[in-house]
Amino acid sequence: MIAFLSGKILEKHPASVVIDVGGVGYDVAIPLSTFYELGEPGSDVQLRIYTLVREDAIQLYGFRTERERELFLKLIAVQGFGAKSGISMLSGMSADEIISAIRAGKIERLTSIPGVGRKTAERLIVELRDKVGEIAHAAAAGSGTQPSAGPEGDAVVDDALSALVNLGYQKNAAEKALQQALQDGTELNVQKLLRAALQRLAK
């Protein structure tokens, strides 16, 4: 099983990154928490990997820190909570926020993530309240974002909107959150727009 990849970024998108490792390109699904931390295409990258093997496919999931990977593994171990839901949760909330919400039993905060219903949130709290305590005080990675050198204008907004819709947010709500972020002066940058929009969608 692949547990770690180190190479150069060939392509990056809010939901995935292609990593060149010795001439082989690995397509890795990532949460937004990892996307925020990535450099631009051509830069070096190292990701912790979870390999999901199914009858019809092998999917790689990548994380910037072992702490995020460990939390992801605990989340998907809960019955009825799959890898897609785990990625959505780590995209909508930081690892610290997820751990805090589970330990404090904040059902409303957990259900603000698309695909997480009340029963699933209750199950997460019951099954993981004690388990997430094991990683609650682990050292977190730095949270500084790297500036994007991507396209300007509508293309940036479209990329951010596409990422939010793919995460399960309603298009109208996502558009409204992005417009509010822009009106509040958020820089025209995919990473920063996504962060600002998610903060508004969580309210």
Domain 154-201 has CATH 1.10.8: yes
Burial of 176 (0-12, 13-18, 19+ CB in 10 A): middle
Cα dist from 126 to 78, 121, 122, 140, whole Å: 10, 9, 6, 24
Give pLDDT, residue 159.
87
CATH 2.40.50.140 in the chain is located at 4-63
What homologous superfamily does CATH list for 66-134? 5' to 3' exonuclease, C-terminal subdomain (1.10.150.20)
pTM of the model: 0.76
CATH 1.10.8 in the chain is located at 154-201
Q: What is the pLDDT of residues 24-78, one digit of tens each?
A: 999 999 999 999 999 999 999 999 999 999 888 899 999 999 989 999 999 999 9
Q: How many CA atoms lie within 13 Å of 181's alpha carbon, on the beta-carbon side?
A: 26
CATH topology of domain 4-63: OB fold (Dihydrolipoamide Acetyltransferase, E2P) (2.40.50)
CA distance 3 to 5: 7
CATH 1.10.150.20 in the chain is located at 66-134
Q: What is the pLDDT of residues 109-136, one digit of tens each?
A: 999 998 899 999 999 999 998 888 777 5
CA distance 24 to 92: 31
Q: What percent of the chain has pLDDT over 70?
A: 91
